[in-house]
Amino acid sequence: MPELPEVETIKRELEPLLVGRKFAAVSVCDTKIVSPLTVEGFQAELVGQGIEYLRRRGKYLFLHLSSGKCLMVHLRMSGALLFDPPQPQSHVRLIFFLDNGSKLVLVDRRRLGVVSILDSEKPVENRLGPEPLEPDFTTTEFSRRLQGRKAPVKAVLLDQKVVAGIGNMYADEALFKARIHPLRPAGDLSPQEIQRLFSAIRSTLRSAIENKGASVDTYQRPGGEPGTAHFNFKVAHCGGEPCPKCGTPIQRLLIRNRGSYFCPTCQKD
C-alpha cells in the first residue's frame, strides 16, 4: 500500500489543487526522507518553483516543476499526502506550503516513504515495466513477459519490472478473478489463462480506481477521506471468510514473504 489505484486517486485529486501553484516554503520534519540531500538543499530546489503537471508511473507520483526537474514521491507502505488537513497530524515528515496559503502534508507512520528531486523521470522509468492500463500493454506483451518464468505467478505480478503498479492486494484479486492459483509457475500458464489474467488485472485496477482505492490500513485520500475499493474485495484480506463463489474458507499462505489470499476450490493448484 498504496498501489496503482491509490496513487492514481491521489494524483487525480491533487492535480486541480496543485497545478499552477508555487512552493512558498518547505518544512522538513524528518531529515531521513530527503536524504541524500540536506534540508537546505531540498528546500532550495523547491521554494519558488511552480508545479506544472502531475504524473503517475507505477506506484510513483511525480510533480513536474517549472525548473524542468520533478519532485518524486513514493509512499511505500504507510505514506499519505493530505491537503490542508483540518487537524494536527501524527507522523508528519514534510509540509509543503503553497503560494495561496494552502499546505500539502506528507505523513508516514513507518518512515518508509521516499521523496527525491530528480532531473527527469528516467531513473524510475528504467526500472519499471509497462503500465497495465495503457493501450500498448497487450495480451501478447504480457505473455512475452511471463514466458519462461518458473517463479510463482503471484511473485511475478509483484515484480515491478514485469508490470508496473500491481501490489499484493490487487494481485490476489486478479488471480481469484482469473481462477489461477498464486503458486502456479508464471511460465506454465496456458494462452487462455494468460488472457483471463490479463483481463482480470485491468478490470480489477479500473474498478479500484473508480472506488478511489482501498483503505485497509493507513491509506487516505488527500482530503482525508477513505477509499472504498476494499468493500469489493473477494479474497484480499479475507482470510477465513467464505469464498463468495463456492463458500470454501479463503486461505492465506506466504509467497516470497508476502501474505497471499486465495480460494483453494476456485483456484486449484
pLDDT of residue 217: 79
Domain-located, residue 230: yes
Domain-located, residue 132: no
Q: Are 261 and 239 in contact (CB under 8 A)?
A: yes
Domain-located, residue 46: yes
Q: Supply 205's cell numbers.
A: 485496477
pLDDT of residue 127: 94
In a shared domain, residues 178 and 106: no
Domain-located, residue 241: yes
Q: Are 34 and 80 in contact (CB under 8 A)?
A: no
Stated pTM of the model: 0.95
Q: Are 248 and 48 in contact (CB under 8 A)?
A: no
List residues with catalytic annotation. 2-3, 59, 258
pLDDT digits (tens, 9 = 90+) for 73-127: 999 988 999 999 988 888 999 999 999 999 999 999 888 899 999 999 999 999 9
In a shared domain, residues 59 and 168: no
Domain-located, residue 131: no
User: Which of 71, 103, 125 is the last residue before a domain boundary?
Assistant: 125
pLDDT of residue 269: 81
Domain-located, residue 268: no
Give me the domain span that covers residue 157.
139-262
| pLDDT block averages, 10 residues each, the chain of length 269 | 94 98 96 90 97 98 98 93 90 96 95 93 95 96 96 97 96 98 97 98 98 90 95 96 97 93 95
Q: Are 65 and 71 in contact (CB under 8 A)?
A: yes
pLDDT of residue 35: 84
In a shared domain, residues 77 and 192: no
pLDDT of residue 86: 87
pLDDT of residue 250: 98
Domain-located, residue 14: yes
Q: Are 207 and 229 in contact (CB under 8 A)?
A: yes
Q: Are 176 and 235 in contact (CB under 8 A)?
A: yes
In a shared domain, residues 118 and 146: no
DSSP one-letter code for 50: B
pLDDT of residue 159: 97
Whichever domain contains 202, its CATH number is 1.10.8.50
In a shared domain, residues 116 and 144: no
Whichever domain contains 22, its CATH number is 3.20.190.10
In a shared domain, residues 179 and 247: yes
- Relative to beta strand 92-98, strand 258-262 is unpaired
Which of 200, 170, 212, 197 minimizes the C-alpha distance to 3? 170
Helix (H, G, I), strand (E, B) or coil at 19: coil
Half-sphere exposure of 256 (CA within 13 A, CB side): 12
User: Which of 102, 125, 148 is the last residue before a domain boundary?
Assistant: 125
Q: How many domains does the chain have?
A: 2
Round to whole Å and give the CA distance between 37 and 146: 38
User: Which of 93, 125, 157 is the last residue before a domain boundary?
Assistant: 125
